[in-house]
Chains A and B, each alone.
Chain A
Amino acid sequence: MAKLTEVRWHGRGGQGAKTAGYVLAVAAAQQGWTVQAFPEYGAERRGAPMRSYVRISDAPIRLRSGIDNPDIVIVLDPSLIATESVLSGLPDGGLLIINTDQSPQEVAESLGNPNVKLYTVNASAISVDTIGRDIPNTPMLGALAKVSDLLELDITLKAVEEQLSGRLPAPVVEGNKEAIRRAYEEVQVA
């Protein structure tokens, strides 16, 4: 049996869930995995709820549907917890990482204390500090690198640099890397 890990990102248009999915795929590819990452939009509107999907496997990936039963769920916007079924299909013991200023205990309570491994990190505050804007996508990769065995921190930093250089000014790329390092340190477990 192929070893397949499926990651579902919940975000809002403009928060970078698509880019984060791509960076995760690139980083995983650099670690030797086969990858697939694609977004699921409504109408490509800024602020509208959207998802992006990442598959990471040790075999060719042929499956091309959305991810209903993820191993890992990452939520970029805490307001989506109330409106989107972020827990949908996440099995017992699955990983849930949420960008929020609340503690893991508070979030767990608001979700009805699900039987998952819940982590929180204030990625918005970190990105405002390091990038100057609330773009929480890259710090969530730092949190993921810390709490899962999917990603190495240094490879994540390198993938982000490769993906963002040329598209963004050098200080912004540096800010994103700093955001990843900080989220790696600051992610909290319930």
Chain B
Amino acid sequence: MGILQPLEGNMAVAEAMRQINPDVVAAYPITPSTEIVQTFATFVADGKVDTNYVAVESEHSAMSACTAAAAAGGRVMNATSANGLALMWEILYITASLRLPVMLTVVNRALSGNINIHCDHSDTMGARDAGWIQLYAENVQESYDNLIQAVAIGERMDVRLPVMSCLDGFLVSHSYELLEVEDDDAVREWVGPYKPNRPLLDIENPYTVGPLDLYDFYMEHKRSQWEAYPTAMQAVIEEGKRFGDAFGRHYGLMETVELDDADIAIVALGSAAGTAKDVVEQLRDQGVKAGLLKLRCFRPFPGEQIAAALAGRKAVCVMDRAASFGAGTGPLYHEIAAAMYGAGHAVPIQNIIYGLGGRMLRPEEIETVFRDLVQIAESGKVTETCKWLGVRE
């Protein structure tokens, strides 16, 4: 049982990092994740951790240093947002391809332009194909818990992948909430010591990392990377259970609320799911059979599990906090629609784009989404696949 204390989201993440005590943090601060690395830097300065903190001149350098330190054999962590993540782009793919378990907290923020510091998921959705595991948190407690689990998931010898632990900018990163902070020793024991795999600092056994790899072998290397993701998905499930057994808060690939007998359901990531839970409860009180699927693990994508959970609904709405320009719908919709089609479930699916650049999502708006779903369930038809919520037309 941890100690219940009020902390801001960013502080809770920094606290998890302090407890994990990584070997290297190489970071460049950016709003709204600044307080994570700022607070962690004070832990380093005050001698509360043994971490080698590298102050770099850009996010490209930050992720380069993190990747190199992980290849050298260190446990490595970092935090960023939006444009900072974009500047890391080139290296993100390399970290994953080299199977280096770097832990990156991403405080989700709109990726310009115009310039905007507030929440949406355009930053991490853009990075969805880079090969990183992605977990999304609804609140401060989950941000803390997810980062601790991320270390265990990514570092498993049968996984060895980097993890993005995502939380909504300002809505969660700057929200003060009560959370259970676990005991330092209990967290360290649960995470366990870091076991490097073929570290470069093992100078008795030198080898080359990241050399030229052309058409004779590149595709085999990509195929072997491909094989890691089903295992990673299993690791998310197993570590979520192991975390729950140790600390009392169980996690899986997704969380469902009133979904089993729901006629209509929405799917959401992150903090929006919290507001949606209140709306589902209100609608249930009014006799409307509404449900929620909160997706926690977006990468690897649990398409079969989502399709099984949504099968039998009369209408579903997928809520996207990012637009995929030119696609006509949001990225989460694409994947869920494909998963439903692949599983043979002909459920009408509405797509909603909401909350871009921090546009507030109000419970009344979620209620209108459910009211529209009632109509869709009756007619069996979606008239306009993608709608924008809360936008002035």
Contact = CB atoms under 8 A, between A and B. Distances in A.
Given A34-B178, A38-B176, A41-B170, A62 B277 contact: yes
A26 interface: yes
B174 interface: yes
B175 interface: yes
B271 interface: yes
A36 B272 contact: no
A29 B362 contact: no
A63 B363 contact: yes
Interface residues of B, number: 24
A40 B275 CA distance: 17
Contacts of A25: 6, 176
A136 interface: no
Most chain B beta carbons < 10 A, residue from A25, A26, A44, A64: A64
A66 B31 CA distance: 20
B8 interface: yes
A21 B6 CA distance: 12
B366 to A, nearest CB: 9
A37 interface: yes
Nearest to B355: A65
Interface string A8-39: 00000000001001100110010000111111
B117 interface: yes
A165 B8 CA distance: 17
A43 interface: yes
Nearest to A62: B274
B58 to A, nearest CB: 21
Interface in A36-80: 36-41, 43-44, 61-66, 68
A63 B278 contact: yes
B78 to A, nearest CB: 22
Given A62-B275, A63-B278, A38 B175 contact: yes
Interface string B135-174: 0001100000000000000000000000000000011101
Contacts, number: 64
Given A34-B178, A36-B176, A38-B171, A63 B6 contact: no
A37 B117 contact: no
Nearest to A37: B176
B176 A65 contact: no
A65 B362 contact: yes
B201 interface: no
A39 B277 contact: no
Interface size class for chain A?
20 to 34
Contact of B6 (A26, A38, A61, A62): A26
B117 A63 contact: no
A22 B271 CA distance: 19
B361 interface: yes
Given A21-B176, A68-B362, A44 B278 contact: no
A34 B176 CA distance: 11
Nearest to B5: A29
Contacts of A63: 274-275, 278, 363
A46 to B, nearest CB: 15
Given A63-B363, A65-B360, A39 B170 contact: yes
Contacts of A62: 138-139, 274-275, 277-278
A41 B176 CA distance: 15
A64 B170 contact: no
B184 interface: no
A64 B275 contact: yes
Interface in B365-390: none
Given A22-B8, A25-B6, A44-B117, A39 B278 contact: no
B260 interface: no
A2 to B, nearest CB: 10
16 contacts: A22-B6, A26-B176, A35-B6, A35-B177, A36-B176, A37-B176, A38-B174, A38-B176, A39-B174, A40-B170, A44-B117, A62-B277, A62-B278, A63-B363, A64-B172, A66-B362
Given A40-B170, A62-B278, 8 more contacts: A22-B8, A26-B6, A35-B6, A35-B178, A36-B175, A37-B177, A41-B170, A62-B277
Interface of B: 6, 8, 31, 117, 138-139, 170-172, 174-178, 271-272, 274-275, 277-278, 360-363
The 10 A-B residue pairs with the shortest CB-CB distance in the complex, in nearest-first order: A38-B175, A62-B274, A37-B176, A64-B271, A62-B277, A25-B176, A64-B274, A22-B176, A65-B362, A29-B6
